[in-house]
């Protein structure tokens, strides 16, 4: 790889540290993204050190390393994430004239088969959210489930919600999503009622809507564990997790309205291509209805 215009050797490890620091402090990357990038770039540095350092990194060498990972069974999505981390680092280095060209720019990851997200059907969703709310924990859990399903929130968005972000009169919530982007989402009637009951336990503006021990914001892991427990208690035997409720919200809304742009805005997707996966789910539903109802869809008996 060609290094900076002066021909000086670049301290690869220092570049990685500086890049990750910018990712955390300026781009406001999530802890999950930072952990993944740190892992991938540390492995890249080790590979480079085992050869000739930064000078060993060429498009052909990177392509070889990716192909080797794919042959060893690394999933196409994981290979794509690895390449994305490499490409971002090298683009950052080019912008700072640490290297002359991005060796990962022209590389393409293996194509991953498109998997449709699993969703609850409407009856399962209703069965899940209708938990008993006779005590403070029950009120919290009921409001949590209703809001996940009503507004399609991400786990981090729900955990970071404070009462100052919730307008129960206008049925709106202000959430902070990926990349620290803020959007306003509607709150359904059932979710609004559940939140009103939860508010009776305390709703100071600076207080988290969903609390765990010591009145602090509920931890993501606690939410995940509660969803598994509540699903079993309610007799829903699919593997229930926060994103399943987000998928279910989007799928049911699209199925009822056909308004893909509205679903995109609700979910906070920057790219409508991400939202379009739900059109495939809707088509699956249409195909099932057609096969069961259309007189020309049924096979003739011999």
Look at the block and give the residue holding tokens 């309610």: 234
Based on the residue annotation, tell me whether 6 is a catalytic residue of this protein. no
Based on the residue annotation, tell me whether 247 is a catalytic residue of this protein. no
Q: In this structure, is the dihedral angle defined by the CA atoms of residues 20, 243, 229 and 207, taken in order, positive or negative? A: positive
Per the DSSP assignment, residues forming a β-bridge with 182 are 176
From the list 70, 178, 241, 285, the catalytic residue is: 178
In angstroms, the Cα distances linking 257 to 208, 253, 261, 291 are 32, 6, 11, 22
Q: How many of the other CB atoms lie within 10 Å of CB of 85?
A: 22
∠ at Cα 112 (63, 263), nearest 5°?
A: 130
From the list 82, 246, 247, 252, the catalytic residue is: 246
Straight-line distance from the first to the last Cα atom of the chain, in angstroms, rounded to the nearest whole number:
68
User: Count of H helices and E strands in the chain?
Assistant: 13, 3
Based on the residue annotation, tell me whether 269 is a catalytic residue of this protein. yes
CA 34 from centroid of its chain's CA atoms: 14
Which residues in 45-77 are b (16+ Cβ under 10 Å) and which e?
Answer: beebeeeebbeebeeebbbebbeebbeeeeeee
From the list 87, 183, 269, 285, the catalytic residue is: 269
From the list 81, 139, 142, 154, the catalytic residue is: 154
Based on the residue annotation, tell me whether 154 is a catalytic residue of this protein. yes
* CB 148, CB 246: distance < 8 Å: yes
According to DSSP, residue 116 is labeled: P
* CB 47, CB 65: distance < 8 Å: yes
Based on the residue annotation, tell me whether 278 is a catalytic residue of this protein. yes
From the list 38, 171, 176, 243, the catalytic residue is: 243
Q: How many whole angstroms separate alpha carbon 64 and alpha carbon 282?
A: 40
From the list 81, 82, 142, 278, the catalytic residue is: 278
Active site residues: 154, 178, 243, 246, 269, 278
């Amino acid at each position: 790889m060609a290094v900076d215009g002066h021909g000086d050797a670049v301290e690869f490890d220092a570049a990685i540290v500086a890049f990750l620091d910018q990712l955390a402090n300026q781009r406001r990357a999530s802890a999950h993204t930072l952990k993944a990038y740190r892992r991938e770039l540390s492995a890249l540095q080790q590979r480079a050190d085992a050869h000739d350092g930064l000078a060993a990194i060429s498009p052909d060498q990177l392509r070889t390393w990716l192909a080797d990972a794919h042959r060893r069974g690394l999933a196409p999505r994981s290979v794509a994430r690895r390449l994305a981390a490499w490409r971002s680092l090298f683009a950052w280095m080019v912008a700072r004239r640490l290297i002359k060209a991005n060796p990962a720019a022209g590389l393409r990851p293996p194509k991953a088969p498109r998997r449709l997200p699993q969703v609850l059907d409407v009856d399962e969703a209703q069965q899940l959210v209708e938990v008993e709310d006779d005590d403070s924990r029950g009120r919290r859990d009921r409001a949590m489930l209703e809001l996940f399903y009503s507004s399609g929130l991400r786990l981090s968005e729900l955990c970071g919600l404070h009462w100052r972000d919730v307008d129960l009169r206008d049925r709106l919530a202000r959430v902070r999503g990926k990349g620290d982007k803020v959007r306003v989402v509607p709150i359904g009637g059932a979710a609004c009622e559940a939140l009103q009951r939860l508010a009776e336990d305390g709703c100071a503006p600076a207080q988290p809507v969903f609390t765990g021990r010591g009145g602090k914001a509920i931890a993501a892991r606690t939410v995940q564990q509660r969803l598994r427990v509540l699903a079993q208690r309610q007799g829903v035997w699919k593997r229930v997790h926060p994103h399943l409720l987000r998928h279910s919200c989007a799928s049911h809304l699209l199925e009822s309205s056909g308004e893909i742009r509205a679903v995109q805005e609700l979910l906070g997707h920057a790219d409508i291509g991400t939202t379009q996966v739900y059109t495939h789910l809707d088509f699956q539903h249409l195909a099932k209805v057609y096969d069961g109802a259309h007189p020309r869809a049924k096979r003739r008996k011999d």
